[in-house]
Structure 1
């Protein structure tokens, strides 16, 4: 079993710098796989780790796939830097290659280890009747054409990897193979508020033991210390956030207001959408007096374009242009990117809850989850994309009364 270390340290505390330092000082006999959400962070590792050459998987091989390239690099014992998206496709062959190969995994930010698969119950029954899948003890096995490339291709590939589960007779749940983590000598997961994250519940479900650490600076070095949330100076960060208070918050008074369910139900409510659009414009134009290039906001994807206020609409991407205008609308789960470090005003038109199917999946497997810790962790990661990461103050429109309370509770160490 791997030694799993979770570096649960507040944003900006030096997690990535610690990882770079560790890799720079490691023995030549140690091999690393560094997994990060974004390609620009892959390049950062390639540029900053000295004395070893990190290779990035590509599709220049007989199979034309990055997964094949990843396997070839592991077989050759190369140091590897890649993205979450590729690592999530790991299969039995990857596990076999990693076992006893002496690799250390460094995971920059948690992975989505469990996700619902978007397939209708009628399609599941159709696949079962056609003999394409068999379901035993909730595990889905692909029994049809092993090379099927129909619209069920993603179902086939996931089932063939042994990572697909039929759950509560109505939906499929993809689960990352736990044997991947077991195949490494050491695993380092770098994140913040791990106690509220899906990967923590995944580790609990599969019985993984892990040690919690924080990162501190000691002179010009980064060192691991025992996890202690009271040393995080949360109030210092909270004071940099000017949380908007006015009648613009009335749209989020109810505890469940602005959740996925709530926004989905009101996605065709013209008056409601107009109100949100007017609120956004009022916040950016009147209350904060900022220009389009200084803001970002997030909400449910289905209503992103509908609520774009005049003067703050998403700019058109200029095909072939060397420099693109900065985005205004970003994903509500944005993390681990530095692309918005000059933004000073943000609006989070969202009330975060864990996906209900995933929540039930964990609960039915005996794992307790905290919706509140999960929500505030996602919000903090989102806020930290702004210039607050440079110690500069920001202005935040957070109309959900629940999310405002959770942020305050976090600052007071109640979460």
Structure 2
């Protein structure tokens, strides 16, 4: 592993949605030496095209960039008049293999590249050997932890007994013991344990509660780059912040833009006791309650949602969105609201910027196994800030991003209190409008 403290520089652009993070990064790219190469990753393909200035056929579900000319060695896209047009960003394609291999090829050929989070997560550190001179730009934080369910607790116990895996000295990281493996000279290549061994070699698997494995992004995937720039909001509460801190990474924090109190007048938050009573308990409307008492919870939320949209807001179909845990979506929506549901983890889209009535019908906590895994590494995810950040990001899919007033229904008392505290600037790390510091990522 590279020494992340000395080899790779990490910079975080931390600003509220609509404060110009993307604009600031685009200007930084424009002003950089033309020989400097960039890999820009973002959650959605639409954003890839917006950054690169490329166009696609609206009828193409794959949103492939339109090609102007091509030959045996290169492809030339149709570019719009965009700020980064002269940088000639390229998109990975399926031609000649898969998109991951295409991205690797583009890096090898020193192209500027736009791609999605999902594709980037499929890359192994070995595929990034040529990326040492690149700047990686991450638009919104990427997933750095996930539950890995390939093996049951019984299977894991058997592997421990055989001596094929063990816990590292940090008491959480799994390591594969090749010297103890089977009759194949310690080489799991070609067996069902090949992937397990590789992930253990990369330090990607964390053993939690003696039963579950949590996958962790290999830090080598990030330290393969010259620099990493992250554009997000409330980075302090993200899983990525805890993750980077566990590796001793120092982040240059660049904070700027609007404070929550400056836009508080745009949020009309419902304090109606009748429709909020379902979320009175601190843990009400959590994922576990949705699962354990689904019918009662969803039936009442369905009535409350209808009350809020029809009676409180007088809303119409094209001016509202709502969210819940996916398992409750159908039961809550009925026939009236099924087309207006938007997943609670939706980010980086402007498709709902005309919606002025929004309902956030859940009480969000990070995955408890992820919380435990990060805590075992010494840097637990900050649960309240994580929940608040995710909720605010979702609310900002609505008309508030255009400066319009919105009506908001948040029945969970915990989530509603967090939102009120945020609007009162209680989570602001500095009263200064602009702040640039070198900090630990915690």
The answer to whether structure 1 residue 359 and structure 2 residue 333 are counterparts is no
For the residue of structure 2 that corresponds to 1:352, the secondary structure is coil
Once the two structures are superposed, the pairs formed by residues 333-372 of structure 1 within 5 Å of their partners are: 333-372=345-384
Query: Could you give the per-residue CA deviations for residues 210-250 of structure 1, whole angstroms, max 9, x where no partner exists?
Result: 1110245xxxxxxxxxxxxxxx3312322211111221001
Distance apart, 1:336 and its partner CA: 1.4
Query: Could you give the per-residue CA deviations for residues 160-186 of structure 1, whole angstroms, max 9, x where no partner exists?
Result: 765233333211111111122222222
| Paired position in structure 1 for 2:439 | none
> In 1, are the aligned partners of 2:319 and 2:357 still within 8 Å (CA)?
yes
**Structure 1: distance between partners of 2:391 and 2:190:** 41
| Paired position in structure 2 for 1:6 | 12
Distance apart, 1:131 and its partner CA: 8.2
Query: Could you give the per-residue CA deviations for residues 44-65 of structure 1, whole angstroms, max 9, x where no partner exists?
Result: 011031211111112212xx22
Equivalent position to 1:21, from 3, 19, 27: 27
For the residue of structure 2 that corresponds to 1:404, the secondary structure is helix
Comparing 166-175 with 395-404, greater Cα deviation is found at 166-175
| Paired position in structure 1 for 2:74 | none
> In 2, are the aligned partners of 1:235 and 1:412 still within 8 Å (CA)?
yes
Comparing 8-17 with 362-371, greater Cα deviation is found at 362-371
Root-mean-square deviation (Å): 2.4
Q: Cα distance 1:154–1:332, how it changes in 2: closer, same or farther (>3 A)?
A: farther
> In 1, are the aligned partners of 2:285 and 2:412 still within 8 Å (CA)?
yes
**Across the two proteins, how many residue pairs are aligned to each other?**
379
| Paired position in structure 2 for 1:284 | 309
Equivalent position to 1:405, from 402, 406, 417: 417
> In 1, are the aligned partners of 2:16 and 2:259 still within 8 Å (CA)?
no
Once the two structures are superposed, the pairs formed by residues 15-414 of structure 1 within 5 Å of their partners are: 15-47=21-53, 48=82, 49-61=84-96, 64-99=97-132, 102-119=133-150, 121-122=152-153, 124-125=155-156, 128=159, 134-137=165-168, 138-139=173-174, 141=176, 146=189, 163-215=204-256, 232-246=258-272, 247-267=274-294, 269=295, 271-314=296-339, 328-414=340-426
> In 2, are the aligned partners of 1:15 and 1:190 still within 8 Å (CA)?
yes
For the residue of structure 1 that corresponds to 2:322, the secondary structure is strand
Distance apart, 1:154 and its partner CA: 7.9
**Structure 2: distance between partners of 1:127 and 1:386:** 50
For the residue of structure 1 that corresponds to 2:408, the secondary structure is strand
| Paired position in structure 1 for 2:435 | none
> In 2, are the aligned partners of 1:253 and 1:401 still within 8 Å (CA)?
yes
For the residue of structure 2 that corresponds to 1:7, the secondary structure is strand
Query: Could you give the per-residue CA deviations for residues 186-212 of structure 1, whole angstroms, max 9, x where no partner exists?
Result: 211000011111110011111100111
| Paired position in structure 2 for 1:225 | none
> In 2, are the aligned partners of 1:18 and 1:215 still within 8 Å (CA)?
no
For the residue of structure 1 that corresponds to 2:230, the secondary structure is strand
